[in-house]
Amino acid sequence: MKFLKWLQIALLSGAVCSAQRDIPLEQATVLDLQAAFSAGTLSSEKLIELSLARIAAYDKQGPTLNAVIKLNPGALALARELDRERAVSGPRSLLHGIPIVLKDNFDTYDLPTTGGSPVFNEIPPEHDAFVVARLREAGAIILAKVNMSGFMGTRQGVGDSMAGGQTLNPYNLAHHPGGSSGGTAVAVAAWFATGGLGTETGVSIRDPSSNNAVVGIAATEGLISRTGVLPLSFVHDRAGPMARTVTDAAAMLTVVSGIDPTDLYTLESAGHIPAGGYTGYLDDTALQGARIGVLVDLFSTGSAHAEGLAIIDRALEDLSKEGAYLIRPLTLGVDLRSILRWSRSTSLETKFALDAYFRARGPNSPVKSLAEYIEAGKYYPESKANLERAMAIESLDRLPSFASLMTNRRILRDMVEELMERYQLDAIVYPMKTFPAARIPDGPGGEMRPPSADNPFSSITGLPAIVVPAGFDSNGLPVALEFLGKRFSEPTLIGLAYAYEQKTKHRRIPPTTPALAGEIIRIP
């Protein structure tokens, strides 16, 4: 098995290293890094040293991005061990020796999991989250836990927590990084690590990915386990990879997807995961002849959206230039924004999801229930109303509204898939949002964003979506295009997103985190 994995890596790497190249670290994909490892021009130990140097230069100094909550003190020692293993038996996977960061709501047995709250600062959970265990088994190096929007509410709007403070957007330090996986997006955008994991209940993978010009995959509901992840919802919560390239995101998705007996949602993925993983679908010709619907229901209006809409219009032109057949205007024929507002059950489920998580965290958990968390008092005052509303729900069984929300959600998903069948679509596209990251306000309360600033379409339907950088506005802030497909159509979406990425190359270096000395990867 290990030989077959190594053969796959060698074949993939061979496609990118037919001649000697010097690649800037921020442009190097996992394929490039594995090729350099194999050639002996780079080691995992050196790669971790480069990542730690960037964190030292830019996280608490320089632009003070403030993305990292806790570094893994054993990362360098593990890198040396993985280098020795590679020399003896080859790599375990494309993530062997690769640094990964985790949003600080993924359980790790060796590092605290704060969820943005100081109540959890010192006591690690007893076990890794299911996906974290898979990353470790694949040879990935958990480099750090990174900041997230405060659990159940924030003081400054988005991207801050009591455990980590305010994280800044590396493209414009006056603006927030997005929530709630803002720390992951910033750490990846600033090259602190090759990739990271985020989570979303609404838009929390896709929003910070859009704000920081990284690729985010919100996978089909049930493709990735949520076991060991601090939850808000049984229904809407999803975990997913965030990376600078579609290549790296696909490599991460290959590792973290799969059936988890303790998360029954993942049984839905049986028979839908490609045997060879997702990197085999990286096809720069995938747009040629693709049928893509442009869902006008999710295009915003108003002057606040004008720049973002212009960027998305150019993205649609690029899709056409690369051979895609655009079906537009495409509409579900309903008031989609209103339906989205009435299809979210998060506030009803939170108490029950959290109580189950706290019990599973083990006897050393500082709190055993949401009631105990509230009593501990270590949260922003702005969170209190949300917490009290959650506590007031006595039983989901006695809430007709919960059943109605589930019905709305299922009907909407079926409508989307029927629309795609009717027009024989490979994907639907629309803006993730057309209002870039808002400014960080000077005082509490956050900055008011215009209506329709965010788009929970994917999370409410449970359908897979990938966001890819589409350009920058006049303030240097990124805007993203979103591809959405039918359930378990990740291979198709990865191909389309990769082709768009390769043909447009919109991502650029954050101006606040330039290259440091020695960040050139040589591939003979």
> Active-site residue numbers?
103, 180, 204
SS3 36: helix
For residue 172, is it left (φ>0), alpha (ψ between -120 and 50) or beta?
Answer: beta
- Rounded Cα distance, 11 and 23, in Å: 19
Helices (H), 59-129: 75-89
Residue 215 host element (H or E): strand 215-218
Residue 278 per-residue DSSP state: S
SS3 474: coil
- Rounded Cα distance, 414 and 376, in Å: 43
In this structure, the number of other CB atoms found within 10 A of the CB of residue 381 comes to 10
Residue 134 per-residue DSSP state: H
- Rounded Cα distance, 332 and 428, in Å: 12
Q: Name the CA dihedral angle for 132, 137, 139, 140, rounded to a multiple of 10 degrees.
A: -10
- Rounded Cα distance, 185 and 197, in Å: 9
Quick one: CA dihedral 515, 516, 518, 519, positive or negative?
negative
Query: Are 17 and 524 spatial neighbours (Cβ–Cβ below 8 Å)?
Result: yes
Greatest alpha-carbon span in the chain: 66
- Rounded Cα distance, 33 and 459, in Å: 33
Residue 175 per-residue DSSP state: B
Residue type, 309: L
Query: Are 415 and 332 spatial neighbours (Cβ–Cβ below 8 Å)?
Result: yes
Query: Are 270 and 389 spatial neighbours (Cβ–Cβ below 8 Å)?
Result: no
Report the residue count for the chain. Answer: 524
- Rounded Cα distance, 34 and 6, in Å: 10
Place of tokens 């500082």: 366
Helices (H), 22-74: 30-39, 44-58
Query: Are 96 and 86 spatial neighbours (Cβ–Cβ below 8 Å)?
Result: yes
Q: Name the CA dihedral angle for 296, 301, 307, 308, rounded to a multiple of 10 degrees.
A: -40
Q: What contacts 482, CB < 8 A, 6 or more positions away?
A: 206, 429, 430, 431, 432, 455, 458, 465, 466, 467, 468
Residue 270 per-residue DSSP state: T
Whether omega for the bond prior to residue 320 falls within 30 degrees of 0, making it cis, is no
Helix axes 490-504, 246-256, angle to 10 degrees: 160
Whether omega for the bond prior to residue 329 falls within 30 degrees of 0, making it cis, is yes
